[in-house]
Structure 1
Amino acid sequence: MSLAGEVCLITGACGFLGERIIKLLLEEEELTEIRLLDRDIKPDLITSLKESQGHTKLTVFEGDIRDPELLRKSCHGATLVFHTASIIDVIGLVEETELHGVNVKGTQLLLEACIQENVRSFIYTSSIEVAGPNPQGDPIINGTEDTRYSCCLKFPYSKTKFQAEQLTLQTNGEFLRSGDKIATCALRPMYIYGEGCKFLVGHMENGMRNGDVLLRTSTKEAVVNPVYVGNVAWAHVLAAKALKDPKKRAAIGGSFYFISDDTPHMSYSDFNHEVMKPLGFGIQGRLSLPLPLLFFISFLLEMAQVLLSPFLKFNPPMNRQLLTMLNTQFTFTYGKAQRDLDYTPRYCWEDAKTWTTDWLASVLPKQREIVRAPKHP
C-alpha cells in the first residue's frame, strides 16, 4: 500500500523522531504534501529537506499545539496525521499543568481539529512508560499487548502520555464532518536511541565529568530493549500504510502496538556504555550505593522537594519513579506490529550502533568544551 497522494501533517516535526519520519517519507513515498508543525522550526532542517523533497510540497506551520486555530489551519485538507509532539520529562522539571496542557489538552485539540477537517487517519506516538513499570518494580520479560500487569502510574509524564493515548484510541471510529470515520492507533516505542538523542549526550557529559567513566544508574540485571529511531520512524510509516488499506483499517483502528527491534537486551547503563565504549569511555562496575539506600535517599529528596515547594523550586536529580524504571527488567516484543502492520526492523543493530557511535563522536569535541568551560557565578 502506497502513501502516494496523501497530505500528511507531522506534529513535533523538528524533534528527534519527527525529523526521521519526514526524511523516511521523502525517501520512500511520493506524498502530495508534508506539513511540518512545531513550536520551533529549524531553518537548517527545512533547507536540507527541500534538497530531497522531489515533487512533494513542504509546508511549515510554526506555533503551539494548544492553539486551536493553528491546528484547524494545519489540518485543513490533510488526510493523515502523525502526532509526535509532547513534552518529555522524567525528573520533574516541568509543572504538571504544563505537561497536561501540551501532552493531553494538545492531543485533544488536535483530535477535534481532525474531526472538523475530515482527517481520516491519526497515529499517536505513545511511550513504553504508559505500560510501567509499577512502583513495586515487577518485571516483564518479552511482554506483549495482551500481557496482564498491575500498574499505577504516578509520574506526571507517564500519566499524561497514557491519558493522551486513551483519548486517541477512544476517538477511533468517530464520524468526521464528511460522514466518513476517523481511524486512530498508538505506537509505544521502547527507549529510543540514535543520532540526535539528547539523553545519550547527557550521559556522555556526566561521564566526562567523572573522568570518562560513565555513571551506573541501573544494575546489569535490569535489562530493557532500546529501539533505534530509524526503526520507530519506519513503524510509523507502516502504520500509515496499514490504516490506508481497507482490509486492515478496521482491525488496526483503536489498537496500540509496542515497537522494538533487534537491539540486544541490556540495562540502560550498559547500553550507554555499549555505544560509547568505542569513544574511550568506561563504566562503573556497580551502583554508587546499594539500591535500597538509593531509594531511601530519593524518598528524602522528594520530601525535601515538598517541604521547600512554598519557598523555592527544588528538583532532585533522582526520584523513586525514575530509579524504579532504571532498575526493572522490562522488555516487549514487536510480534503484534509484525502481524498487523507488516513491521520488521528496517535497520539492523550493527548499523544502528555504528551510526549512533559515529554521531556521538561528531559531537564529542563540542561537549568536552562545554564540560571544561569555567562556571560563572
Structure 2
Amino acid sequence: MSLAGMRCLVTGAGGFLGQRIVCQLLEEEESLAEVRGLDKAVSSEALQNFGKVKTKTLLTIMQGDIRNEAFLHKAVQGVSLVIHAASIIDTVGLVDKQMLWDVNVRGTQLLLETCLRNDVPYFIYTSSIEVTGPNNRGDPIYDGNEDTVYQITEGFHYGNSKKEAEKFVLGMDNQPLKDGNSFVTCALRPMYIYGEGSPFFLNHLDESILNNRVFLRISRKEALVNPVYVGNVAWAHIQVAKAMRDPTKVKQIRGHFYYISDDTPHLSYSDLNYELTKELGFGIEAKQAMPLMMLYCYAFLLEIVSFLLQPFVRFVPTVTCHLLTMLNTPFSFSYRKAQRDFGYMPRYKWEEAKQHTSQWVAKITPLRTASLKTHTV
C-alpha cells in the first residue's frame, strides 16, 4: 500500500525525529496530497531542511500549542493520518511534573478526541523505551520483545507520562467513526535515537570538547543497549502507516505497540558516542571517573540538596540516581514483531547511519568549539 493522495499531520514536526518523519513523507515516490507539520515553534534550520526536499507534496507548517482545542480542530481538518511525535522529553527532572502531564498526556488526549470528532481514521503514536524501564533496581533485559515481562518502577515523571499517553492511544483503537469505519491506532517504542541533530549527543560532544576531545565515560562497557538511527525510526512510522491501509495487515497492527531498533551494534551509551566520532580523532575515557556506587552516592546527595532547597530555589541536579540506572543497565529489544506484522526493515545500515552522523559531527565540531571557547574565556 502507499500513502498517495493522503493528508498527513505530523506533530512535533520541528523536533529531532519529527523533521525526519516530515522529510521522508515528502520524499515518498507516490506523492501525498499534503503534509502538515505542527509544532509550537519551527526553527529556520528545520524549514531549510524541508526546503531541500524535492517533492510535489504540499507542505503546510502550523505553529501552535497542542493543548489548544481550537487549534487542533483546525489542524486535523481533512486529515487521514496523524503521526503524533510531539512530546516534552525530560530525563533529569528539568520540567515540572504538571507541565509534562499537560503536554504529554492531556495534549495526546485532546488530539485523540479531536481526531475522533473529525473522522481521522489512522493514528500513530511515538512512544518511548522509557515506558518499559529500566526499573530502579537496574534489572537487565537482553534482546527482549513485546511479550517480555518486566517490573517497572513508578515515580519517573517522563516515563510515566509517556506510558499513560500510550495507554490512551491504544485504548482508543476500534472506536467508531461517523462514516461507519473504526479508529485505527498503534504505538512505536524506539530505542535511544541517535543521528544528525540529536540534542542529547550535542551535550556529550560539548563535554568532550572541554575534555580535549575525549568523551567522559558515563556508562560502563557492560551496559549494552541497542540504539537506533533516527532515519530508521522515521522509516518505521512510514512503514506502519502504509500497513494500516492494507486490509491484510491492519488487524494485527491495531491497538498494539512495537519496539523499533536496527542493526546498530549493541553498545553502551558512552561507547556509541565514541564509535560515531573515533574516525574524527575523538577518544573516550577508559573507565568512569569514580566507582558506580560512589556516583550513586553523589547523585543521591544532589537529590537531597535539591529537596532541601525546594522551598527557596529550584535546583535541578545534573545527575540523578534514575539517570545513572538508565545509563548503566543492559537494556535491548528486538524489532522482530514489527518486521513480522508490518514489514519493517531498517532503511539505513549501521555503516551508512554512522557515516551520516559522523559527517554531521565533523561539520558542527568547529562551531561548537569556537562557541565554547568564547563562553569560557
| Fold conserved between structures, TM > 0.5 | yes
What residue is the counterpart of 1:193 in the other structure? 194
For 1:288, give the aligned amino acid.
Answer: A
1:27 aligns with 2:27: yes
Distance 1:35 1:212 in 2: 40
Aligned length: 376
Residue identity in the other structure for 2:35: I
Where 1:247 maps in the other structure, the secondary structure is coil
Once the two structures are TM-superposed, the CA of residue 49 in structure 1 deviates from its matched residue by 2.9
Once the two structures are overlaid, the 10-residue window that deviates more, 234-243 or 293-302, is 293-302
TM-score w.r.t. the length of structure 2 is 0.97
Contact 1:183 1:253 in 2 (8 A): yes
Determine whether 1:14 maps to 2:14. Answer: yes
Q: CA deviation at 1:46?
A: 3.5
Determine the C-alpha separation between the residues in 1 that align with 2:292 and 2:73: 49
- Give, in whole Å, the separation in 2 of the partners of 1:117 and 1:155: 34
Letter in 1 for 2:348: Y
**Structure 1 residue ranges without an equivalent (≥5):** none
Task: Provide the alpha-carbon RMSD of the alignment.
Answer: 1.3
1:22-45 per-position Cα deviation (integer Å, ceiling 9, x unaligned): 111121241111111011123453
1:199 and 1:44 map into 2 onto residues whose CA distance is: 18
Q: Structure 1's 291 and 47: CA in aligned 2 closer, same or farther, altered over 3 A?
A: closer
1:137 deviation in Å? 0.4
Q: Match for residue 338 of structure 2?
A: 337
Greater shift in the superposed pair: 307-316 or 39-48: 39-48
Compare 123-132 and 279-288 and name the one that shifted more.
279-288
SS of equivalent residue, structure 1 residue 373: helix
Residues 69-101 of structure 1: CA distance to partner in whole angstroms, max 9, x if unpaired?
A: 111111111000000000111111111111111
Do 2:192 and 2:226's aligned partners in 1 also have CA atoms closer than 8 Å?
yes
The answer for the alignment partner of 1:171 in structure 2 is 172
Give the 3 Å change call, closer, same or farther, for CA 48–188 of structure 1 in structure 2. closer
Q: What SS does the corresponding residue of 1:149 show, helix, strand or coil?
A: coil
Distance across 1 between alignment mates of 2:154 and 2:280: 37
Aligned runs of 1:23-102 on 2, under 5 Å?
A: 23-28=23-28, 29-46=30-47, 48-50=49-51, 52=53, 54-102=55-103
Q: Aligned AA for 1:17?
A: L
Give the partner amino acid of 2:373.
R
How big is each residue's C-alpha offset from its partner over 1:321-363, in whole Å with a ceiling of 9 and x where there is no partner? 1100000000000000000010111100001001101101100
Deviation at residue 244 of structure 1 after TM alignment: 0.9
Alpha-carbon spacing, 1:71–1:221, altered in 2? closer, same or farther (3 Å): same
Which stretch shows the higher mean deviation, 272-281 or 77-86? 272-281
* One-letter amino acid matched to 1:4: A
Which ranges in structure 2 are unaligned for 5 or more consecutive residues?
A: none
Partner of 1:279: 280
Amino acid at match of 1:38: D
Q: Which amino acid aligns with 1:165?
A: E
Q: Cα offset for 1:54?
A: 3.2
Q: Contact conserved, 2:226 with 2:264, CA < 8 A, in 1?
A: yes
In 2, the alpha carbon distance for the partners of 1:275 and 1:247 equals: 40
Q: Is the contact made by 2:88 and 2:103 (CA closer than 8 Å) also made in structure 1? A: yes
Residue 145 (structure 1) aligned with residue 146 (structure 2): yes
Q: Is the 8 A contact 2:258 2:335 kept in 1?
A: yes
Equivalent position amino acid for 2:184 in 1? A
Contact 2:259 2:333 (C-alpha < 8 Å) held by counterparts: yes
Higher deviation after alignment, 91-100 or 49-58 = 49-58
Distance 1:197 1:354 in 2: 15
SS at match of 2:60: strand
Alpha-carbon offset, residue 158 of structure 1: 0.7
User: How far apart in 2 are the matches of 1:47 and 1:329?
Assistant: 38
The amino acid across from 1:363 in the alignment is I
* Identity, % of aligned positions: 52
Counterpart of 2:199, as a letter, is K
Contact 2:126 2:189 in 1 (8 A): yes
Does the C-alpha gap of structure 1 residues 292 and 374 become closer, same or farther in structure 2, counting only changes over 3 Å?
Answer: same
Deviations, residues 260-316 of structure 1 (Å, cap 9, x unaligned): 000000100011111121222111111111111111111111111111100001011
Match of 2:360 in 1: 359
Q: Does the 8 A contact of 2:129 with 2:190 survive in 1?
A: yes
Which residue of the partner structure matches residue 292 of structure 1?
293
Q: In structure 2, how many angstroms separate the alpha carbons of the residues matched to 1:294 and 1:178?
A: 58
The worse-fitting range, judged by mean Cα deviation, of 181-190 and 19-28 is 19-28
**Partners of 1:130 and 1:153 within 8 A in 2:** no
Partner of 1:322: 323
Cα displacement (A) at 1:251: 1.7
Q: Secondary structure at the match of 1:374?
A: helix
Structure 1 residue aligned with 2:268: 267
Letter in 2 for 1:170: G
Shift of 1:67: 0.7
Q: C-alpha displacement at 1:369, in angstroms? A: 1.2
Measured against aligned partners, the alpha-carbon deviations of 1:192-241 in whole angstroms (never above 9, x if no partner) come to 00111111111010011112211111000000000000100110000101
Please name the residue that 1:5 is paired with.
5
Contact 1:132 1:153 in 2 (8 A): no
Tell whether the 8 Å contact from 1:133 to 1:325 is kept in structure 2 after alignment.
yes
Which secondary structure does the structure 2 equivalent of 1:9 belong to?
strand
Q: CA deviation at 1:53?
A: 5.3
